[in-house]
Amino acid sequence: MRGYLLDISPSGRDEVILWVKRLDGRVVSHQVKWMPRIYVHGFLESLVKLGRLLSQRYFVDFVERSVKPGSPPETVLEIRVPFGSKKRVANLILDLGNHQLFKVYNVDLPSMQEFLYQHELHPTALIDLSNDGFKVLDSIEDLDYDLSWVRAAHLDAKVEASSIAPRFSDRLREVIIEMDGERIVLDGAEDGILQDLTKTLDDLDIDVIITDGGDSFLLPYLHYRAHVNCVRLRLGRSRDPRMFKPSPSTYFSYGKVYCRFRGFKLKGRIHIDSSNSMLYGETGLDGLIEVSRVARIPIQDAARYTIGSCMSSLQYYQAYRLGILIPWKPSKTIYMDCWSLNRADRGGLILDAKTGVYWNVAELDFKSLYPTLMLKHNISGETVNCECCKDEGERIPELGYHVCKRWRGIVPRAIELPLRKRMRYKELIKEARDGRLRTLYRSRSDALKWILVTAFGYLGYRNAKFGSREAHLAVCALAREMLLKAIRIAEENGFEVIHGIVDSLWVRREDADDQDYLELAKKIEDEVSLPISYEGRYKWIVFLPSRTHPDRPANNRYFGVFMDGRLKYRGIEARRRDAPPIVRKMQLEILEKLAEARDPEQLREKAIEAIEIYRGYVRRLILGDVSIEDLAITQVLSMDPDDYVVEVRQAVAAKYLERARVRVVPGQAITYVIAGASGLSKAIPIQLVKEGSYRLEPYLRILERAAYTIITPILGSFKTIFSIAL
């Protein structure tokens, strides 16, 4: 019997259930006897004693595994443990060995992933089920795999809310299921709705339920209502997990605070909470499935993981396949003196932009520069400054590190597939005639991009299993070297380099056309042997100065228009999340006006016309001809509202929400409207604000600033609302 693997879930102590959608559309479950494993390394004598002790309760075995990448296999103790008890058993073993005798491995490798690795399986795989097991018929390398069988639906509910934030005690009014553009509304008595819900999901044979806030509210709420009404609710294809109170956890990453909810995972049906899934939010279901396939992670887990965890799974798989054990605690700290840190700890090269308006500029980008360098130069935690190739290994420029010649690192092995697949998807995007196909490939390629981006960041992460600081620094050094080479080549060929950031270059020659720039790209590509993409030729581009030092450039703040009319802008208000939509609309309208210009003379004329656009917006703001949504500012709360020393607007809005008995946690995005100069009305949450109640002055300032950003580099200063009478 053939079918697609929809999901897997553990069952009891030693069983895994495979949920398979047969080719005829029926979903069947298939049990496989299997248990997760952990490994212990230590002196053989102690291992034998430990094995004897543990064999009374667990199934133990002696096997050969490498404890470090590249090292020869050694005898280790394998212990099969029931689901969910890996950490408990591992801690017990460490205690038995007085935290000295034993080292434990594969402890934080999630069991379901381990199952997939061991059976060379992946979610949505086409498999052949028989009495004596199953066979995988497709591969994660495939670019065109069939997903037409996936039946996805959006689930939402309306609550008779007593305040702005619905609560568990509020009654359920209706449930809405949307599928393929059709809308099914279940209403009436509460118990009836809940009973119908289980039946409708089964009748429609839904495989994927997508919710907005399912983890944080909706699913626990529906179960609570079922409990109150004495109705048995089932959203999955088998009994749902026990109800729990949604609890947010806050974490910090790259200078930003995020908040995440514990997942409400179903059995036999996939639940994705779009507001609790970064991957789904960025790339949709197609991107999510691509990542779960490539990284071999059950879809419901992949949806809730950080990208870093998804990427780690690729490395774990490589290690697993090669018989290398994954250490529980990261390897020991490596010390570096201040002097060498100062020398080595530098990011990519930044060549300051020369501020001003430029015509006929080309942008050249290295394609996935960091991952490509990692792959090409075999950069991995264990290969940089390895012990075996001190004299003969490849040298890293500037730093003098060496790279192993004998062993191919886990990291390059892991990123090879996503890198190759992404390049192929990019080609397919270009070839595709059908718009739908193009979007599909784009989501998949974007999802893989995320994986590749984190592959580099994780190299230097302290909890990364196969990374090291030196490896991280080596990639940066190589990248600087490549950009410097590219700059030199451009100059030698008569181009002026205007700006360069890490992996992109902006070059110019007055008489150059697309052909010349393409030739330059080809030349660089040949000489540094790294793939380069020609982003396109800007009709004109403006590099903006810093606000605090007008004579210095602000890197990564620019806007321009390509020859084909496409706009590209970075770092200006229109790209910022904390700018109200009205600003985005105005800046885009102005940019579109400016894009019409064909020469410097026309650009000035268009800029003068653009002032009128700005004035139009000012007029609308003053006359109250704007919707409140257009004025909403969204900011992320970085700490508890009470911990703010300065009364910043997002904290005020958060306090407002708290008064309305809405729970606010750090990492949560708060949307508010400025309605007063001080006090609580300084920022009113969008849910509570009345139409038309906003404070004019701050919005006029925001508009003025946004208009200034775009118009002044072209025209010099101009009269704004604060200096003219309307």
Partner 1 sequence: MGRNALTYRQRLQLELDKWRNFRKALLRDEREAFDSLTDHVFRLCHAGSMYPERDTFDLLTMSALISHEGRLRSLEKELKVGMKIDERLPIRHKPIW
Residues that bind partner 1 (CB under 8 A): 339, 341-343, 345-347, 349-352, 398, 457, 459-462, 469, 472, 480, 484, 500, 549, 551-552
Residue (254 or 722) nearer to partner 1, CB: 254
The residue count for the chain: 726
Reference 174, options 162, 159, 161; nearest CA is 159
SS3 labels along 444-461: HHHHHHHHHHHHHHHHCC
Amino acid at position 464, single letter: A
Q: Report, in Å, the least distance between residue 447 CB and partner 1.
A: 24
Where is 299: in which H helix or E strand? helix 299-304
Min dist CB 354 to partner 1, Å, is 8
Q: Indicate the pairing of strand 496-501 with strand 504-508.
A: antiparallel
Q: Closer to partner 1 at the Cβ: 550 or 692?
A: 550
| CA pair distance 565, 507, nearest whole angstrom | 19
Task: Report the C-alpha gap between 367 and 87 in whole angstroms.
Answer: 41
CB of 543 to partner 1, least distance (A): 13
Nearer to partner 1 among residue 456 and residue 699 (C-beta)? 456
Give min distance, CB of 484 to partner 1, in A. Answer: 8
Instruction: Report helix, strand or coil for 134.
Output: strand
Geometric angle at alpha carbon 471, from 469 and 477, rounded to 5°: 105
Choose among 485, 418, 488: nearest CA to 448.
Answer: 418
**Quick one: 350 or 357, whose CB is closer to partner 1?**
350
* Smallest distance from partner 1 to CB 335, Å: 12
Cβ closest to partner 1, residue 345 vs residue 605: 345
Q: State both tokens at 126.
A: 């086409």
Cβ burial of 111 (10 Å; 0-12, 13-18, 19+) is: buried
- Considering beta carbons, is residue 447 or 464 the nearer one to partner 1? 464
Closest to partner 1 by CB, 350 or 429: 350
Least distance in angstroms from the C-beta of 391 to partner 1: 24
**Min dist. Cβ of residue 476 to partner 1 (A):** 10
Please provide the DSSP assignment of 580-593 as one string: -HHHHHHHHHHHHH
CB closer to partner 1 out of 166 and 467: 467
Question: Inter-axis angle of helices 307-321 and 435-459, to 10 degrees?
Answer: 80
Q: Which two tokens stand for residue 292?
A: 């779960």
Query: Do the Cβ atoms of 610 and 711 come closer than 8 Å?
Result: yes
Q: Could you give the CA distance from residue 40 to residue 105 in angstroms, rounded to a whole number?
A: 6
How far apart CA 114 and CA 169 sit, in angstroms, is 41
CA distances to 35, 38, 44, 48, 593 from 51, rounded to whole Å, are: 17, 13, 10, 5, 76
Nearer to partner 1, 343 or 604 (CB): 343
Q: What are all long-range contacts of 649-654, with beta carbons under 8 Å and residues at least 24 apart? A: 649/674, 649/682, 649/683, 650/683, 652/680, 652/682, 652/683, 653/683, 653/684, 653/685
Smallest distance from the beta carbon of 384 to partner 1, in angstroms? 13
Contacts of 53 (CB under 8 A, 6+ apart): 96
Phi, psi (degrees; rounded to nearest 5) at 324: -100, 135
Residue 248 or 457: which CB sits closer to partner 1? Answer: 457
- The minimum distance between CB 591 and partner 1, in angstroms, equals 28
CB of 390 to partner 1, least distance (A): 23
Minimum CB distance to partner 1 smaller for 16 or for 353: 353
- Token look-up 């994780």 returns 458
Q: Considering beta carbons, is residue 260 or 469 the nearer one to partner 1?
A: 469
Q: Report, in Å, the least distance between residue 334 CB and partner 1.
A: 12
Give 240 or 470: the residue with its C-beta nearer to partner 1.
470
Shortest separation between residue 422's beta carbon and partner 1, angstroms: 24
Give dist(CA 626, CA 51) in Å, integer.
Answer: 73
Instruction: Compute the least distance from the CB of residue 496 to partner 1, in Å.
Output: 14
